[in-house]
Amino acid sequence: MGIIEAILLTVITAATPLVIAAAGELVTERSGVLNLGVEGMMIIGAVCAFAATQATGSPYIGILAGILSGTLFSLLFGFLTLTLVANQVATGLALTILGLGLSGQIGEPYAGQSGIKLPQIVFPVLSDIPVIGRLLFQQDLIFYLSIALIAGIHWFLFRSRAGLKLRSVGDSHTSAHALGINVIRTRYLAVMFGGACAGLAGAQLSLVYTPQWVENMSAGRGWIALALVVFASWRPWRIVAGGYLFGAVSISQLYAQGNGFNVPSQLLSALPYLATIVVLVLISQNRRMTMINTPASLGKPFVPDR
């Protein structure tokens, strides 16, 4: 039971940043904007969270710094794609490259330093329940935020008037504009929310998953988060299932290497990304389901004057 509990705890830690980043991107894409810069926003959030924590000694200020940096980075994306109507795919890729380079520059003084780990929140009595006690009632703040985010996003998208407006913008920005909805403002807010979530996911990497700064520590998780949105068919609660599935795949390769399986380490390290490709191929087979759930205006620019 101790081994199983340890594995499950590691899976939760590995899956949390994927769930948070994918949740933010889901809201962004529901508004009709495709932001491929999630990886860049995550790594910027990670380095800024670590730097702020080292400067202040408070990981909670580090979390705020990660969220703020991700939001500011997303505003750059929004200005280029929503105001200047630049190509969303090219801008997102450029944002990722910029984030990887800028984070390396910012984080250079912090390389090799021991970080301050975000403390766990312990619920008395409940945390003593065998297995599930430590899994659910003895976790860090970001884990609980990830669950609250998913629940909040589900309510917002399918139970609130503002969520209905956002989905209408993603499905048909021309019709939404004709009904008096401010399409550009709605998309700006969605992009900023996605950036804040990516920054929070990055903060989890440098404050919980590996409490230190390592260059390129996001290691492609932003791309997996993008795939998770498609895997979940743009449905919030499916992101949780997909995130923990990919988290389990990521951790399984570490345990396989640790137990000396006679498999090349390079192949084991590639498992999460191979799983991503396989899942996307399987999903693409059901074209009807994909077309029904995909926002119709996804990736399409909108200019009110036209």
pLDDT at 256 over 90: no
What is the share, in percent, of the chain residues with pLDDT greater than 70?
A: 92
pLDDT in tens, 269-290: 677 777 777 777 777 776 666 6
- Give residue 246's pLDDT: 85
Mean pLDDT computed over 57-77: 96
pLDDT of amino acid 294: 85
**What integer pLDDT is reported at residue 196 of this predicted model?**
97
Split at pLDDT 50, 70, 90, the class of 6 is: confident
Dist CA 183 CA 168 (whole Å): 10
What is the structure's pLDDT at 276? 73
In the predicted model, what is the mean pLDDT of residues 143-172? 95
Residue 72's pLDDT band (cuts 50, 70, 90): very high
Domains and CATH numbers, the chain: 2-111+127-293 (1.10.3470)
pLDDT of residue 261: 67
What dihedral angle (degrees, nearest 10) is formed by the CA atoms of 182, 234, 149, 82?
Answer: -30
Inform me whether the pLDDT recorded for 179 exceeds 80.
Answer: yes
pLDDT band at 85 (very low <50, low <70, confident <90, very high): very high
Instruction: State pLDDT tens for residues 115-147.
Output: 899 999 999 888 888 878 888 999 999 999 999
pTM, rounded to two decimals? 0.92
Average confidence score pLDDT of the chain: 89
More confident residue, 283 or 96: 96
